Amino acid sequence: MEKRIDRDTWPRRAHDALFARLEVPFYSVTWRLDVTRAYAYAKRNGLSFFTVMVWVTMRAINAVEAFRYELRGGEVWLLDRRDPSYTYSWDGELFGICGVPWRENESPADFAARCRAAEAASSSPVPTAEADAAGHDVYLSSLPWIDYEHVSQEFPLDGTDSTPRVMWGKFTENEAGAKTLSYTVQVNHRLIDGIHLARLNDALIGAINALEDD
């Protein structure tokens, strides 16, 4: 269950106040992520590589407490979970946005089935503003046509926006068969520091290494 943080005793109180002075307290970091095992798992099980990456990302994000902090009405809340809001192919060159509740310990195959059902049931490529504002989401997308070195993402000029934004690019393969891709995370510095990104990277590696055949 989500809980309100006591700001008076919150260890990040001073850091929150520091970055709250800025009009744009957001920053993003891109690093190379080895997805060899995730790609092989997707192919062995007939799953979309993108969907497996969404599953891996959400498992990792929910494992790092800092990514579950949310700024709300002048207060800080710790969420019990974050849910994925991801892009998918809608019509031709257009994309759709779909959200599903995250279920801890759900297999990638079961998660993929729920995603397909939600996409099929969608009557619009994008959610309403009300629906978009109601969720405690992580925004996920990919740029599978480009092996990029840097990317910037859209965000509102609202220093209380606490939705993590994640994107990854086209993977490349070396002579040994290892596949890596650019992985970008954009966050609010009021809530998340570099050490938390390092913990996220560790959690991503752990989630990928834990993949097993269903």
Nearest Cα residue to 167 out of 193, 186, 180: 186
Mean pLDDT score, 115-121: 93
Residue that the structure tokens 């207060």 belong to = 75
Nearest Cα residue to 97 out of 88, 107, 105, 106: 88
Q: What angle do CA 104, 108, 110 make, to 5 degrees?
A: 85
pLDDT value, residue 130: 59
pLDDT above 60 for 134: no
Mean pLDDT score, 127-132: 64
How far is residue 116's CA from residue 138's CA, in Å, rounded to a whole number?
A: 18
Q: 25-209 sits in which CATH class?
A: alpha beta
pLDDT value, residue 133: 59
Q: What is the 3-state secondary structure (H, E, C) of 107-132?
A: CHHHHHHHHHHHHHHCCCCCCCHHHH
Mean pLDDT score, 113-136: 80
Total number of residues shown for the chain: 214
pLDDT tens-digit map of 29-86: 999 999 999 999 999 999 999 999 999 999 999 999 999 999 998 899 999 999 999 9
Nearest Cα residue to 188 out of 165, 209, 170, 205: 165
pLDDT value, residue 123: 85
Mean pLDDT score, 100-118: 95
pLDDT value, residue 129: 65
pLDDT value, residue 126: 84
Nearest Cα residue to 121 out of 84, 88, 82: 88
pLDDT value, residue 45: 96
pLDDT above 80 for 135: no
pLDDT tens-digit map of 157-170: 889 999 999 999 99
